[in-house]
Amino acid sequence: MISEHLPILAVILPLVGALTVLLAGWAERRYCYPVAVAVLTIQFGLSLAILREVLRGGTIHYYLGDWAPPWGIELVVDHLSAYVLVILVFLSLLSCIYAKRSIGGEIDPQKTVAFYVMFLLLVVGVCGITVTGDIFNLYVFLEISSIAAYTLVASGREKKGLLAGFNYLIMGTISACFILIGIGHLYVVTGTLNMADLARLLPPLYDSTIIHVAFIFFIVGLSIKTALFPLHTWLPDAYSHAPSAISVLISTVISKMGIYATIRILFSVFTVGFIVDHLPILEFFAWVAAIAVIAGSVIAIAQTDLKRMLAYSSVSQMGYIMLGIGIANSVAMTGGVLHILNHALIKGCLFMVAGAIIYRVGLRKIDDFKGLAGRMPYTCAAFFIAAISMIGLPPTVGFMSKWYLTLGAIEAGEWFFVVVILASTLLNAIYFWRVLEYAYFRHADAETPELESRVPVSMLLPMLVLAAGCVVFFFAVSIPLGIIDAAVADLLGGA
Amino acid sequence: MRENVVIRTVTRLAVPFILVFGLYIILHGSSRAGGGFQGGVIVASAFILIGIAFGLDETQRRIREKVRTIASILGISIFIGIGLLCILFGANFLGYAAIPLPLDTPWVRGLMMEAVEIGIGITVMAVMTSIFYDVATKEEGE
Amino acid sequence: MIEDLVVAFLTRYNYYMAVIIMLIGLYAMIAKSNLIKKVIGLNIFQTAIYLFYISIADVEGGTAPILVPGTDVVYVNPLPHVLILTAIVVGVSITAVAYALAIRIYQSYGTIEEDELLELGSERR
């Protein structure tokens, strides 16, 4: 009986969890953390069950309130949504486990309850986005998770986090407003909000100016949300000044959510017929993404603060995913979608390492990392693996996604993009090598005080799990690829 | 806050009417142009008016933060509870028609919609009031 | 030419007003340095979108979408109203969060003027 209600439960469960955390927080502040972890663990099980259902029976449709679409709100879970859902819930779970100790020094103890409540509300929004098949619903869930993200970014003790949160709020809200205007334009000409119905009704209207306007609003709005290069200005501050656990959460979950929304709007609402054959917008998208890849890497090299460097590296990695989408043949798409998993694992791990270093030895500047490997061996090992994966060397999953992206670019005959990917690999290597060199090969200054530098298990474990994931998925890449192939076929087959 | 007889008297007179109007709007959620959010905001505006007229500290003591939080949890729980009840009776989430009441389907739908609207109304009322008080009062040790 | 524009404006003035209000809001968000004014700009921007949605819901000669039994009545489209109600809820939450953040910023920096905040930020670096 439960199995047919899985999509809605994926939204309801974290919501109930948020309320439970609130109640538990009243009884005793300590209870919040175990309750939140328990809820997210169940949620992870639920998302795996959804994935299994999708793999077994194909796309799940769920009609809220028994109203058939296009009148009622429909929840749709296909391969892509299930895949993204599992990744996002898993990363939320790990960053929640990680949060226990890491927020100790970064957040006032009185705010712990509110912190976990917002955390779970963010998961509500994220899960809602992945399961919904209704375009307005997508906007609402996007806003739920974004509002939670604004508050979480500003929740730390660090003063700059407040400004970062405020800027993020202004940018995020402009983008949401653009998306809302786009939805309005689509509704004017079609009279429906259901994605599948829109995809069915739009083709005869491809020449309509209103559709073009709607599309542009969507593109601009979603580009701000995903922090595509020229519109990325909110990202570095938000990532580097947020509490560490939140840096992990927004760099993996929130950014992927934007990517997912973009893919949905581009391929499930406007469909390939519009974006490839009618308006050559994807070409443009790919070029912007290529610029993002290079520019993000170049700016990252110039950074001295580790978290900030990782933030700019995120800008460039978003570019990779968008590049895969922009080239839009099945191989490159596979690379792009695989990079969603890849980037979630790597960036989660790297931000966790950055957070652990700040937590234990209080260092943010890369120049201060001399001899760090001796003091924090496991943390630096995790960083090493993740950095290799980011550069794209085997045996890590980063190699696989870059491999597919390159193959896709070659197949499309876009040699320039091949050059971009290779060049950015070199740039990645430069800025990660610098960190590794300081951590492993420079000796600590004599006057550095010997600090207690053991990282608590609740922080070390998620880090190592993610680092192990980078290696495991290189060998077991067929597991995600099986899902991705079906997802890409869905997306490209809509034409 | 300075004594102001006019404001206080007008508030005393107006608040009951505002509350009744708010409840009216909440209860017309299923058949007419009403709903939980609109009604909840109107009810909250009554509380905010009391806060402005009688001073925030005084009102804070009457409508404590705990009460507001419990109210907001209660409201969402009503919504989720009814939704899950529908699942329990074999329909989809919020599929009101499945709830076995001795009434015709439109009536059941209407009734359940009202119940959900009341839940939403309670939550909106509590949250709106909270937003006002939390932003307006100086935080002590928050 | 100008006559056409005037006619177009007069027949669809609500859409043009929506665009104008939207630009006013956007201007306030970009050009004003006071954070509270930025939030007000944000609200104006959102209000313009509400106006846009309400405009598209309108049907000429339509009445409020409450069922009038028996008679043959034209109703306006209620769906955009509902959508915009949801958008208003979102807008309210965003405004609340923004004001709360502005208050916190004022408490820790002592100002909410953006240029002063930037100065303070760069000094500390």
**pLDDT digit string, tens, across residues A198-228:** 888 888 888 888 888 888 899 889 888 888 8
Pick among B37, B42, B130, B142 to test the C interface (most C CBs inside 10 A): B37
- The pLDDT of residue B140: 46
C-chain CB neighbours of A166 within 8 Å are 35, 98, 101-102, 105
Chain A residue with minimal CA distance to C58? A188
Chain B contact present for A5, CB below 8 A = yes
- The pLDDT of residue B85: 85
Tell whether the torsion through CA atoms of A269, A270, A276 and A277 is positive or negative.
positive
Of C60, C63, C61, C48, nearest in space to C14 by CA? C48
C-chain CB neighbours of B33 within 8 Å are 64-66
- The pLDDT of residue C117: 78
Give the gap in angstroms from C-alpha A381 to the nearest C-alpha of chain C: 30
Chain C residue with minimal CA distance to A146? C94
CB contact under 8 A, B80 and A22: no
CA distance B105 to B86: 13
Chain C contact present for A169, CB below 8 A = yes
Model confidence at B16: pLDDT above 90 = yes
Mean pLDDT over A129-136 rounds to 89
Chain C contact present for B135, CB below 8 A = yes
Residue A82 lies in a domain: no
Residue B141 lies in a domain: no
pLDDT category of residue A495 using cuts at 50, 70 and 90: very low
pLDDT category of residue C123 using cuts at 50, 70 and 90: low
Residue B142 lies in a domain: no
CB contact under 8 A, C101 and A165: yes
Alpha helices per DSSP H over B1-142: 5-27, 36-54, 56-62, 65-88, 105-136
Residue A11 lies in a domain: no
Mean pLDDT over A337-343 rounds to 87
Please write the tens of the pLDDT for every residue from B31-64: 777 788 889 999 999 988 888 888 877 777 777 7
Chain C contact present for B38, CB below 8 A = yes
Model confidence at A258: pLDDT above 70 = yes
Chain C residue with minimal CA distance to B132? C96
CB contact under 8 A, A162 and C52: no
Model confidence at A75: pLDDT above 60 = yes
Residues 53-72 of B with CB under 8 A from C: none
Domain that holds residue B118: 5-136
Pick among A144, A145, A163 to test the C interface (most C CBs inside 10 A): A163
Mean pLDDT over A266-286 rounds to 79
Model confidence at A271: pLDDT above 90 = no
Q: Say how many Å lie between the first and final Cα of chain A, rounded.
A: 35
Domain that holds residue A367: 280-495
CB contact under 8 A, C97 and A147: yes
Of A284, A425, A306, nearest in space to A359 by CA? A306
Residue A338 lies in a domain: yes
Per domain, the residue ranges of chain C are 2-124
A-chain CB neighbours of B95 within 8 Å are 65-66
CB contact under 8 A, C103 and B131: no
User: Of all residues in chain A, what percent carry a pLDDT higher than 70?
Assistant: 97
Chain C residue with minimal CA distance to B38? C85
- The pLDDT of residue A449: 56
- The pLDDT of residue B42: 92
Count of Cβ atoms closer than 10 Å to residue A53 Cβ: 18
Model confidence at B18: pLDDT above 90 = yes
- The pLDDT of residue C41: 92
The DSSP annotation for A73-134 comes to -EEEE-HHHHHHHHHHHHHHHHHHHHHHHHTTTTS-GGGHHHHHHHHHHHHHHHHHHHHB-B
The C-alpha angle with vertex A20 and arms to B86 and A134, in degrees rounded to 5, equals 50
Q: Which CATH number among 2.170.130.30, 1.10.3720.10, 2.40.70.10, 1.10.287.3510 corresponds to the domain C2-124?
A: 1.10.287.3510
Mean pLDDT over B2-24 rounds to 87
CB contact under 8 A, B37 and C100: no
CB contact under 8 A, B37 and C89: yes
User: Of all residues in chain B, what percent carry a pLDDT higher than 70?
Assistant: 94
ipTM, 2 dp: 0.91
Chain B contact present for A162, CB below 8 A = no
Count of Cβ atoms closer than 10 Å to residue B41 Cβ: 21
Chain C contact present for B35, CB below 8 A = yes
The DSSP annotation for A433-474 comes to HHHHIIIIISPPPTTS-----PPPHHHHHHHHHHHHHHHHHH
Please write the tens of the pLDDT for every residue from C92-106: 899 998 988 888 888
CB-closest option in C65, C85, C103 to B37: C85
CB-closest option in A22, A64, A110 to B92: A64
CB contact under 8 A, B141 and A15: no
Please write the tens of the pLDDT for every residue from C3-44: 888 887 788 888 888 889 999 998 988 888 888 999 999 999
Alpha helices per DSSP H over A154-228: 159-190, 195-201, 209-226
Model confidence at A278: pLDDT above 80 = no
CB contact under 8 A, A184 and C38: no
Give the gap in angstroms from C-alpha B90 to the nearest C-alpha of chain A: 8
Please write the tens of the pLDDT for every residue from A417-468: 888 888 888 888 888 888 888 888 777 665 555 555 677 888 888 888 888 8
Tell me the residue type at A140.
V
CB contact under 8 A, B32 and C66: yes
pLDDT category of residue A154 using cuts at 50, 70 and 90: confident
Mean pLDDT over all residues of chain A?
84
Taking CB atoms and an 8 Å cut-off, how many pairs form between chains B and C?
Answer: 18
Residue B130 lies in a domain: yes
This prediction has a pTM of 0.91
CB contact under 8 A, B76 and A15: yes
The C-alpha angle with vertex A108 and arms to B129 and A172, in degrees rounded to 5, equals 60
CB contact under 8 A, A110 and B77: no
Pick among C92, C94, C107 to test the B interface (most B CBs inside 10 A): C92
Taking CB atoms and an 8 Å cut-off, how many pairs form between chains A and C?
Answer: 68
B-chain CB neighbours of A112 within 8 Å are none
CB neighbour burial string for A342-353, b if at least 16 within 10 angstroms, e if fewer: bbbbbbbbbbbb
The DSSP annotation for chain C comes to -HHHHHHHHHHTHHHHHHHHHHHHHHHHHHH--BHHHHHHHHHHHHHHHHHHHHHHH--TT-B-SS--SSS---B--HHHHHHHHHHHHHHHHHHHHHHHHHHHHHHHHS--BHHHHHHHHHHH-
Model confidence at A494: pLDDT above 60 = no
Residues 10-29 of C with CB under 8 A from A: 26, 29
The C-alpha angle with vertex A304 and arms to A299 and A307, in degrees rounded to 5, equals 85
Please write the tens of the pLDDT for every residue from B85-131: 888 887 778 777 777 777 777 788 888 888 888 999 999 999 888 88
Residue A164 lies in a domain: no
C-alpha pair distances (Å), A294 with each of A288, A331, A407: 10, 22, 19
List of chains touching C (3+ CB pairs within 8 A) = A, B
Give the gap in angstroms from C-alpha C106 to the nearest C-alpha of chain B: 12
How many folded domains does chain A comprise? 1
How many folded domains does chain B comprise? 1
Count of Cβ atoms closer than 10 Å to residue A214 Cβ: 25
